[in-house]
Amino acid sequence: MNKKQQKTLKKIFAKPTRADIAWNEVKSLLAACNADVSEGRGSRIRIVLNKQVLNLHTPHPQKELKKYAVELVREFLTNTGVKP
């Protein structure tokens, strides 16, 4: 995991929950964690890591995740053992 991905991880775990985290940054972080990211219909995304599954919608038209999505990603990463 490079420094930018580590910075993204810290943003995800920051309190209060941030709303300025770009989807591309999160996708890069998940790739560094060897997560399987697959696209479904429309904007659906399925993320699988360590037998845990997270289903999300990619943000559109903006590029940043909404706060509830950041909280879902935070919980998912915690459940899979990824912490800052």
Give the CATH number, domain containing residue 66: 3.30.920
Number of folded domains that form the chain: 1
Domain membership of residue 75 as a residue range: 3-79
Nearest to 31 by CA among 11, 4, 60: 4
pLDDT computed for residue 83 by the predictor: 87
Tell me whether residue 58 is in a domain: yes
Question: Can you state the percent helix, strand and coil of the chain, rounding each to 5?
Answer: 40, 20, 40
Tell me whether residue 84 is in a domain: no
Nearest to 52 by CA among 78, 14, 17: 78
pLDDT in tens, the chain (84 residues): 899 999 999 999 999 999 999 999 999 999 999 999 999 998 999 999 999 999 999 998 899 999 999 999 999 999 999 988
Distance between CA atoms of 26 and 4, rounded to whole angstroms? Answer: 10
Nearest to 46 by CA among 36, 33, 55: 55
